[in-house]
Chains A and B, each alone.
Chain A
Amino acid sequence: MDSAQLIGILATAIATATPLVFACIGETITERAGVINLSAEGTILLSAMVGFAVAKTTNSLLLGFASAAVVGALIALVVAYAAISLQQSQIAIGFVLALLCGDLSSFLGNPVVRIPGPTVPSFKIPVLQDIPIVGPLLFQSDWLVYISYALIIATWVYFYRTRSGLLLRAIGEQPAAAFARGTNVVLMRYLYTLVGGALMGIAGAAFSLDFKAGWSHRHTAGYGWIALAIVIFGGWNPIRVALGAYLFGILQSFASVAQSTIQAVPTQVFTVAPFVLMILVLVLTSSDWLDRLLSPLPASLRRTALQTIRVTPPAALGRTFEQD
């Protein structure tokens, strides 16, 4: 494999991962606040359909993305209301919405199947695009890709470098303590669930208006379920989650190349790989096996290794919180 081919694979990987980055960051924000939005698959499908239909009729990309974000936020509102206010199982409500919104997208989206529509224009950043290797890889994409880079960094900064980010993490870890310190936990959880849902909606539009422009039934190939897996794989850390999304993109784009070059390895191995990796990471990081595995190491080294490998979910994830 020569370098041009490799750059090709990596460029495809970034394009493949971009919708996933929006969805994964959205879910990360939601889960950090202590809520699981399991509807991801349905949210992405329905917002992809609506985003495409709106952009097509109004001929405005911006309105397409905005309506997709609104759809995502509305579905998140149902999740938040059922989970936070009615204290029903987040898993049950999210799962039902995943199926319902998926079917709604197929039913209502029937008139816009496989018709051409507007797409996000590409934009090559001057000067930077001429840098060898890095240029073609990072600076010859479209607006959405650059926004996704900014989103990753902004979310990381918000989480770990701002006071409100600290509060966000607190309501997912110790809601009772955060409430005692005067945080309106319920309001904040609503807010972050809605923000996360809106980002998932944008992920949908990133499909139908950019990556796989257009709309057809089951357009997004299970990306919602994959996003849920990647958030865990990335340990609820925006940078690690994004790396997980890019790893998935690399595996996917490698699979499509491998189909023609390496016949010995079945391509299904690459498509299934993220899930096997996710399970392995989960087993390694949440069970006691990791401690045993690292026990031969000296104490200080072991502690550092544990800190870097082990990911723990927000302690209050999926739990209801009674404010009054």
Chain B
Amino acid sequence: MKSNLLSRSNYYQVGSFVVSLLFIAIVIALSGVSPFQVVASLWDGAFGTADQFARVLSTLAPLLLCASGLVFTFTAGLYNLGIEGQIAVGAIATTALLRLLEGAIPAPLVIALALVAGTIGGAIWGLFAGVLNVYGKVNEIFAGLGLNFVAQGLTLYLIFGPWKRPGVASMSGTELLNESLWLSTFGNTEASPISLILAALAVVVTVVVIRGTHFGLKLRAVGQNLRASYVLGIPAVRQLLSSFAICGAFAGIAGALQVVGVFHRLIPNISSNLGFLALLVVMLVGFNALFIVPVAFFFSALNIGSLQLPLALQLESSLAGVIQGTLVLFAVLGRGFSERKNGLKNS
């Protein structure tokens, strides 16, 4: 019976994947270009040169960090839409520390401390959403969305106010960091070994903590039934707040890496929507932490590959988002179908 159920749900997964591909092909055809041309162009854009592949890796790192963090909040039964703001506040904290300590102590130490500051900044912003949720009884979705806009306002205020470039304040962001404060990279590319190591660590820690520790077990209990776990004496409040703080901390590191590793300054769209993309990644893998790696890699490759589209085929690069969204949409619908069919059969 069990294997039967399994194959049935696999059947729906494959089915929803095929429908996604059809939908994507139709959308591409509507723009008047052959889907095969688009696939070739995407592949070329992501893997054509070493530089482009390095860019895929440098997008992968923050995506893995955010997705790992989201596994914690999802396990606790929360939709942390505030992750974008948590990335931004991590980036702000990092920039603040870099400005404060630049030149005062050796550069590698400044970078290390800046990463710590980013982690703490993100954790505080995550905890803020958690406090609003737990003590203020504000739905986490609206607390998160609201705090995203507050973080966005803070970023803009700093870029146009206290941290503006001498003479010109503009949307291009704060002044470029001194090159000694840039994260080291593979050769002249954008990929940094430190980013990738941190991201890999985040995934490993997440898998181990969620699957193999008492904390993970309690978190699952809280996520599955908040009231029951409260009655059973599991400190639900502490579990919820910790999951917000952990997710915020991981997002904060991602924000810090965006500053020291990718943009080398604070820019208005510092999160580059990677937090929202990470939400899609986690929804697609059904909260199974291990599958995050291949899916995040695929999504990063799409994001970078799509930058080629305007040049090669005069198409909008937002096709990457269309593909990602379609895959997740039909996966959710497919899951719903398989649950409904199974439910009918059981009853």
Contacts and interface: CB of A to CB of B under 8 A. Distances in A.
Interface residues of A, number: 45
Contacts of B161: 266
**In the complex, which of the residues B30, B146, B336, B340 has the most CB atoms of chain A within 10 Å of its own CB atom?**
B146
Contact of B142 (A89, A106, A228): A228
Given A95-B79, A283-B132, A88 B333 contact: yes
Interface stretch (A120-128, A144-152, A268-276, A301-309): A268-276
A283 B136 contact: yes
Interface stretch (B106-114, B148-156, B205-213): B148-156
A278 B25 CA distance: 41
B138 A91 contact: no
Contacts of A167: none
Q: Main SS of the interface on chain A?
A: helix
Interface residues of B, number: 49
Interface string A83-96: 00111110111011
Contact of A103 (B30, B81, B315, B318): B318
B141 interface: yes
Interface stretch (B53-61, B89-97, B322-330): B322-330
Contacts of B335: 88
A107 B150 contact: no
B138 A282 contact: yes
B101 interface: no
Nearest to A218: B318
A269 to B, nearest CB: 7
B315 A110 contact: yes
Interface stretch (B3-11, B173-181, B250-258, B276-284): B276-284
B27 interface: yes
A229 interface: yes
Nearest to A286: B137
A87 B340 contact: yes
B332 A266 contact: no
A107 B318 contact: yes
A82 interface: yes
A110 B31 contact: yes
B322 A103 contact: yes
Given A95-B79, A229-B145, A275-B150, A107 B27 contact: yes
B78 to A, nearest CB: 10
A268 B340 contact: no
B88 interface: no
A276 B329 CA distance: 31
A272 B153 contact: yes
A38 interface: yes
Contact of B79 (A82, A91, A287): A91
Contact of B137 (A91, A95, A104, A287): A287
B150 A272 contact: yes
25 contacts: A87-B339, A88-B333, A92-B79, A95-B81, A96-B332, A99-B321, A100-B326, A100-B328, A103-B318, A107-B27, A107-B31, A107-B319, A107-B322, A222-B149, A225-B149, A228-B145, A266-B157, A268-B157, A268-B160, A272-B150, A279-B147, A282-B132, A282-B136, A282-B143, A283-B138
Interface of A: 38, 78, 82, 85-89, 91-93, 95-97, 99-104, 106-108, 110, 217, 222, 225, 228-229, 232, 266, 268-269, 271-272, 274-276, 278-279, 282-283, 286-287, 289
Q: What are the 8 tightest A-B residue pairs by CB atom distance, in nearest-first order?
A: A100-B325, A86-B336, A103-B321, A272-B153, A106-B318, A283-B136, A275-B146, A275-B149
